[in-house]
Every structure is written in C-alpha cells, then in structure tokens.
Amino acid sequence: MSALIQVKNLSKSYWREKFEIPVLNNISLNIDAGEFLGLMGPSGSGKTTLLNMIAGIDKPSDGEVVVDGNVISGMSESQLAAWRANNVGFVFQFYNLIPVLNAFGNVELPLLLTKLSKAERQQQVETALRIVGLSDRIDHYPKQLSGGQQQRVAIARAIVTDPVILVADEPTGDLDKASAEEILALMERLNKEFEKTIVMVTHDPRAAESASIVHHLDKGDLVKEVVQ
C-alpha cells in the first residue's frame, strides 16, 4: 500500500529581485497514514516551506506532492482551497485565532465551508472543544484565554472537520514549558487515540520527541531520518 503523503523530487526556489534562492533541493519523502512526523532543522533550512507544500498553501517549483491519491501540486488555486478545507487541519505558532470571534466561532469557521447544518456544526464544535478540554471556554474570546488555551482552541479548529492530515508549524514555539507539554500531549493523543496523521515543524528537540519519525533538513536537503 502506498504512503498517504508522497513527496516526489520536490524543489522550490524563490526569486529575490534577480536572484534565484533555492529553498528545497529535490526532496523525496513518504509519510504513512497515522504517522507523527517531525521536521527539524535550523532557520532557513526549508522545513516550513516543505510543510506549506504538503499542506497545499504553497506550490513547488518542480516535483510533486500526492496526498491520499490526489496530486495537489497540480491543482488550481480554488481546487486547492476546497481540498484544504476537506483534508488539512492547521496549527500555527501564534495560534492565528480570529480575535473578534469567540472559541465557538473560531472552531466553527472551517465547518462553514461544509454542507453541515447549524445543529450539526454545533455538535462538532462542541466535540472538538471537548477533546481539547475547553468545553467550559466555548464563549471566551482569544484575548480572554492563555497562550496554551488559545493553541488548544486552534487545535480544536484543526480537527473539527476530521481532516486527513494535521500540519503544525512550531506549535509550541510561543508557549511556556508547561503549556508546551500540554499541547504536545494533546497532539500525541490525537495521533495515537484518533489516528491522526501529523506533520510538525519544530525547533524544539523536546517537541520532536513526540514524533514517531523526525526528518532533519539543512539548506534545503534532507540530511537525516530518525525513527523514535
């Protein structure tokens, strides 16, 4: 059986004025369903760029990304948007909650892109917030929540559509140690208990310990794979 996510000969470069800056060099990588994959490396190593391409918010210069049989690197902008809505849950370093929406409103956002009824949406939002342990904060606005709580709301938003993959970019990068551990424990639980496939970029070696496989990047190349 083929891998859930197949990264094939992927290259990416950016143009800064007249200079082409290579970010990823001919990377190939397979991620199986149910895997918790960590991407590590120094700043500028290309790990976030790789994550963005797996998540379908950036396009490769060369090569392709196949997720669950779909060649997402070949999709149009609007096809990609629809694909992301159904298949990807995002967790960002700075949570990226919408400040004017409360926890319920934030978690409900991705469901507005589905055909679910209002009652169904409410049920799913409540389930997602229960999984992250924030059922009692459903009416709270982001500014009324701690960093760790905000990140948990963001995780609820990421899982509320039951996506195929979860992508997390430095999910503990803005948190204190205790909150970071809570978030990592939650992500491990999502991986083990709910069998979510997770791709996580991190600087933090302790965060990387949660992953089952860690790939190290340096200057756009995969340099090391560590199975934990």
Partner 1 sequence: MAIPIHYTLSNFKSRKLTTAITIAGLALVVFVFAAVLMMAAGVEETLQATGEPENVKIVRKSANGEISSIIDGETQNIVQTLPHLAKGEDGGVLNSREPVVVINLTGEDGGFSNITLRGVSKGFGPMRPNVEIIDGRMFNPDLRELIVGEAIRSRFVDAQVGSTIDFAGNDWLIVGEFSAGGSGFDSELWCDASQMLDAFNRGNSVSTITLKLNQASDFEVFKTAFEKDQRLQQFQAQREQDYYGEQSEGLAGFIRVLGIFVTVIFSIGAMVGAMITMYAAVANRATEIGTLRALGFQRRSILVAFLIEALVIALAGGVIGVALATLLQFFSISALNFQSFSEIAFSFAMTPATVISSMIFAIFMGIVGGFLPAVRAARLSIIDALRG
Q: Residue numbers of the site for partner 1 (CB under 8 A)?
A: 52, 55, 57-58, 77-78, 81-86, 88, 90, 92, 94, 96, 98-101, 105, 109-110, 112-113, 157
Shortest gap between Cβ of 153 and partner 1 (angstroms)?
A: 13
Shortest gap between Cβ of 132 and partner 1 (angstroms)?
A: 17
Q: Which residue, 100 or 119, is less far from partner 1 as judged by CB?
A: 100
Taking CB atoms within 8 Å and a gap of at least 24, the contacts of 174-179 are: 174/93, 174/94, 174/95, 174/147, 175/147, 175/148, 175/151, 176/147, 176/148, 178/148, 179/146, 179/147, 179/148, 179/151
Q: Which residue, 100 or 227, is less far from partner 1 as judged by CB?
A: 100
Q: Which residue, 1 or 100, is less far from partner 1 as judged by CB?
A: 100
Q: Which residue, 52 or 122, is less far from partner 1 as judged by CB?
A: 52
Shortest gap between Cβ of 85 and partner 1 (angstroms)?
A: 3
Taking the C-alpha atoms of residue 97 and residue 199, their distance in angstroms, rounded to an integer, is 20
Q: Which residue, 32 or 141, is less far from partner 1 as judged by CB?
A: 141
Shortest gap between Cβ of 225 and partner 1 (angstroms)?
A: 26
Shortest gap between Cβ of 209 and partner 1 (angstroms)?
A: 27
Enumerate residues 6+ apart whose C-beta is below 8 A from 130: none
Of 41, 71, 69, the residue nearest 56 (C-alpha): 71
Residue 6 in contact with residue 30, Cβ under 8 Å?
yes
DSSP 8-state secondary structure symbol assigned to residue 137: G
